[in-house]
A and B are shown apart, each in its own frame.
Chain A
Amino acid sequence: MSLKEKLLSSYLAFEDHLEADSPIHDIRTKAIKAFENQGFPSKKEEAWKYTSLNKIVKEDYSIFPKAEKTIEFKDVKKYFLHDVDTYKIIFVDGVYSSFLSETTHDGLDVCLLSSALSKDKYKPVIETYFNKVAKDDSLTALNTAFAKEGAYIYIPKHKEVEKPIEIINFATGNEASLMLQPRNLVVVGENAHVQIIERHQSLSSHAVLTNTVTEIFADKRAHVDYYKIQNDHKEASLIDHTFIDQERDSICKVHTFSFGGKLTRNNLNFHQRGEHCDSVLNGITIIEGKQHVDHNTLVHHAAANCESHQDYKGIFDENSTGVFNGKVYVEKDAQKLDAFQQNNNILVSDKATINAKPQLEIFADDVRCSHGCTIGQLDEDALFYMRSRGIGKKEARALLMYAFANNVLESVTIPELKKRVNKLIALKIGVNLGFDL
């Protein structure tokens, strides 16, 4: 049985357990049909030209884990931002772990999607926002069909959330291979501010496929800082779909740090609906071995006087492959726009590959849209300069790569996170930082 067939039959069993009057029953039914019609995307589709799911979908994944497994905090502490106080929504093999989590309903909601879907008091929010910006491409639809658990975050207007919120999905390896489909919903009210860190972490060498969808709604003047840390096991694959809907004067920033995993696909969709929106998409990719990271971004500008900034840096070693497909779509009313896209790559090895494809579709006539893309090796003059100051070749190379990547971190708002990512970069590159971060 193929994975598609398995998912379709699992859906029937899954649906049996659900109440038919669930507010999202119709949405689910439509979604599974969309998936059934489209199937898994293939390389024949333009958006998947450089990323093949063939091998990934051949694995015999468990769709619903059979047994629960608990994990001790001390064993996974390093994956938390443990040196600062945070809210935490933690899942272990797709199941909520109250033991590891720290949720709240005090002035804001940081809790579970499953309870938001089942309790009446959340019904208006679910009806207004759930699946409203998520698209119906096959993988997003697949997630929607199985949407049951994930993070539910609701920030009322004017609320400044000081503690960052961590969403971590652990895979324990209890199953030989596991498919996870977390679904997150984030609603940020007018003039509210929130910082969220999302992480998917496998704790064993068993295969994991995560197909996750996050919908984020930023109301007027809302400010959202969202961080994705992707530093997973080399048998873990992640397909991420993040949809962000922005009302006027809102600022949304997504930082994606892709440092590991077998196959990582980031579909990042911004939709600016009101004037004076600012969208920031920053990414650092540092991979090696046979790892594959694909950034597929879309910024949809529908209103005037907005900005978007994309800055993606990639360092590819050994046989690793990367894709950057960045699209900026400007509607004819989106005048006086400033859209900027930058994608710089270093190929460390002769066998590494990057496919970079900027796309601009502009229907307005008074806009500033720019894009730049570089693919290169390390600067020989800079290497000689550093070596002539006594810094060995290996260290000089590492320091240059470190410097190349780390300036993307300037816009990270959580100092502890910045420090952490800085260390991860140093570790990835093998630079011995003889200095403070």
Chain B
Amino acid sequence: MLQIKDLHASVEEKDILKGINLEVKPGEVHAIMGPNGSGKSTFASVVAGKEEFEMTKGDVLLNGEDISELDPEERAHKGVFLSFQYPVEIPGVTVTNFIKTAINETRKAKGLEDMPASEMLKKIKEKAELLEIDRKFLSRSLNEGFSGGEKKRNEIFQMAMMEPKLAILDETDSGLDIDALKIVANGVNKLKSDDNAVIVITHYQRLLDYIVPDYVHVLMNGKIVKSGTKELAYELEEKGYDWIKEELV
């Protein structure tokens, strides 16, 4: 699904990612953990195609195809989805209208007709129920005045609507109380299949109780310094990151 080889990236000539290697296969869940400033969010943004970051070296392959030169929307059309750590507020565009536009633009890029209105409505209803989203919420302006939890739930709602091949969840657990966390995790788990993959970026092991990873990677100073199974997450929760730093020395 996703192959990342020796990925280097910088912003304003400052190197942030310094040689990341990662392979994610269909059906897998990978967790990326690491201390603040280790490059986790940069990694997510680079894979999604944010232009502010310059990819200076390496390959990003999606199903064998190099996507590193593609625009963000082209990557989305190929099935990449990024759930934002800080979803942007867009006053004047409702949640429903935004998701309709996103879906139909993606269909257009694939040479498909717009999704019939009845099908769209049915899908919106179904996915809103999955994430326990109130109908009134859907006619509000996108993210405007939403609580932290509502923003994150809305991100996963959009993910459910878009049905991506590769979803990257950037700190989706931050700002969520335990009930909201369970709803979001349940949503992600329901969407999981043998054909898609999820990368979960998080500070805390808490989310991984609900979205159980096949692999856990530790990102430090722009590199993956340790990989393991979900037990590694518990170890990090218990001991912090210092012991890895020591191990590296």
Choice from A379, A380, A381, A389 contacting B158 with Cβ under 8 Å: A389
By a CB distance below 8 angstroms, the chain A residues around B104 are: 434
CB of B87 within 8 A of CB of A404, answer no
CB of A393 within 8 A of CB of B93, answer no
By a CB distance below 8 angstroms, the chain B residues around A100 are: none
CB of A388 within 8 A of CB of B48, answer yes
By a CB distance below 8 angstroms, the chain B residues around A386 are: 90, 98, 102
> How far is it, in angstroms, between the C-alpha of A388 and the C-alpha of B88 when the chains are bound?
12
Q: Does B162 contact A (CB under 8 A)?
A: yes
Query: Given A434-B100, A434-B105, are A389 and B92 neighbors across the interface (CB < 8 Å)?
Result: no
Q: Does A217 contact B (CB under 8 A)?
A: no
By a CB distance below 8 angstroms, the chain B residues around A53 are: none
Nearest CB on B from A39, distance (A)? 44
Choice from A381, A388, A392, A399 contacting B93 with Cβ under 8 Å: A399
CB of A388 within 8 A of CB of B72, answer yes
By a CB distance below 8 angstroms, the chain A residues around B75 are: 388
Closest to A408 in B: B92
Query: Given A387-B72, A389-B158, A434-B100, are A407 and B92 neighbors across the interface (CB < 8 Å)?
Result: yes
Q: Does B18 contact A (CB under 8 A)?
A: no
Interface mask (B50-93 → A, CB under 8 Å = 1, otherwise 0): 11100000000000000000011101110011101001101111
Q: Does A403 contact B (CB under 8 A)?
A: yes
> How far is it, in angstroms, between the C-alpha of A403 and the C-alpha of B94 when the chains are bound?
10
> How far is it, in angstroms, between the C-alpha of A386 and the C-alpha of B93 when the chains are bound?
11
Q: Does B244 contact A (CB under 8 A)?
A: no
> How far is it, in angstroms, between the C-alpha of A350 and the C-alpha of B103 when the chains are bound?
32
Closest to B87 in A: A385
CB of A381 within 8 A of CB of B76, answer no
Q: Does A99 contact B (CB under 8 A)?
A: no
Closest to A380 in B: B52
> How far is it, in angstroms, between the C-alpha of A407 and the C-alpha of B94 when the chains are bound?
12
Q: Does B96 contact A (CB under 8 A)?
A: yes
Query: Given A389-B158, A403-B93, A407-B91, are A434 and B82 neighbors across the interface (CB < 8 Å)?
Result: no
Give the interface size class of chain B: 35 or more
Number of A-B contacts (CB under 8 A): 85
Choice from A379, A393, A435 contacting B97 with Cβ under 8 Å: A435
Q: Does B126 contact A (CB under 8 A)?
A: no
CB of B48 within 8 A of CB of A400, answer no
> How far is it, in angstroms, between the C-alpha of A305 and the C-alpha of B37 when the chains are bound?
52
Query: Given A389-B76, A390-B106, A392-B73, are A384 and B51 neighbors across the interface (CB < 8 Å)?
Result: yes
> How far is it, in angstroms, between the C-alpha of A399 and the C-alpha of B73 when the chains are bound?
15
> How far is it, in angstroms, between the C-alpha of A436 and the C-alpha of B117 when the chains are bound?
11
Choice from B51, B82, B105 contacting A391 with Cβ under 8 Å: B105
CB of A388 within 8 A of CB of B76, answer yes
By a CB distance below 8 angstroms, the chain A residues around B82 are: 388
By a CB distance below 8 angstroms, the chain B residues around A388 are: 48-50, 72-73, 75-76, 80-82, 84
Query: Given A391-B101, A434-B104, are A385 and B88 neighbors across the interface (CB < 8 Å)?
Result: yes
- Residue from A387, A388, A399 having most chain B Cβ neighbours under 10 A: A388
Closest to B84 in A: A385
Q: Does B214 contact A (CB under 8 A)?
A: no
Nearest CB on B from A284, distance (A)? 12
By a CB distance below 8 angstroms, the chain B residues around A402 are: 92-93
CB of B101 within 8 A of CB of A404, answer no
CB of A435 within 8 A of CB of B76, answer no
By a CB distance below 8 angstroms, the chain B residues around A393 are: 71, 73
> How far is it, in angstroms, between the C-alpha of A299 and the C-alpha of B82 when the chains are bound?
48
Q: Does A42 contact B (CB under 8 A)?
A: no
CB of B52 within 8 A of CB of A403, answer no
> How far is it, in angstroms, between the C-alpha of A436 and the C-alpha of B84 when the chains are bound?
27
CB of A403 within 8 A of CB of B91, answer yes
By a CB distance below 8 angstroms, the chain B residues around A392 are: 71, 73, 105, 109
> How far is it, in angstroms, between the C-alpha of A8 and the C-alpha of B98 when the chains are bound?
57
CB of B88 within 8 A of CB of A382, answer yes
Query: Given A381-B88, A382-B90, A384-B72, are A390 and B77 neighbors across the interface (CB < 8 Å)?
Result: yes
By a CB distance below 8 angstroms, the chain B residues around A381 are: 88
> How far is it, in angstroms, between the C-alpha of A159 and the C-alpha of B81 when the chains are bound?
57
Q: Does A235 contact B (CB under 8 A)?
A: no
> How far is it, in angstroms, between the C-alpha of A19 and the C-alpha of B21 when the chains are bound?
93
Nearest CB on B from A435, distance (A)? 4
Query: Given A382-B90, A390-B77, A391-B102, are A434 and B114 neighbors across the interface (CB < 8 Å)?
Result: yes
> How far is it, in angstroms, between the C-alpha of A405 and the C-alpha of B91 when the chains are bound?
10
Nearest CB on B from A109, distance (A)? 39
Interface mask (A45-56 → B, CB under 8 Å = 1, otherwise 0): 000000000000
Tell me the chain B residues, 127-153 only, with Cβ under 8 Å from chain A.
141
By a CB distance below 8 angstroms, the chain A residues around B87 are: 385
> How far is it, in angstroms, between the C-alpha of A152 and the C-alpha of B47 when the chains are bound?
64
Interface mask (A382-424 → B, CB under 8 Å = 1, otherwise 0): 1011111111110110011011111100000000000000000
CB of B91 within 8 A of CB of A395, answer no
Nearest CB on B from A54, distance (A)? 38
CB of B76 within 8 A of CB of A403, answer no
Closest 10 CB pairs of A and B: A403-B92, A390-B76, A390-B106, A387-B72, A435-B97, A389-B102, A385-B88, A387-B73, A382-B88, A434-B104
Sample of 14 A–B contacts (CB below 8 Å): A382-B90, A386-B98, A387-B49, A387-B73, A388-B76, A388-B80, A389-B81, A389-B102, A390-B103, A390-B106, A392-B105, A403-B90, A403-B91, A436-B97
Q: A389-B162, A391-B102 are in contact. List 7 more A-B contacts (CB 8 A).
A: A380-B52, A385-B84, A389-B102, A391-B101, A392-B105, A434-B104, A436-B97
Residues of A whose CB lies within 8 Å of any CB of B are 379-382, 384-393, 395-396, 399-400, 402-407, 434-436
Residues of B whose CB lies within 8 Å of any CB of A are 48-52, 71-73, 75-77, 80-82, 84, 87-88, 90-93, 96-98, 100-106, 109, 114, 141, 158, 162
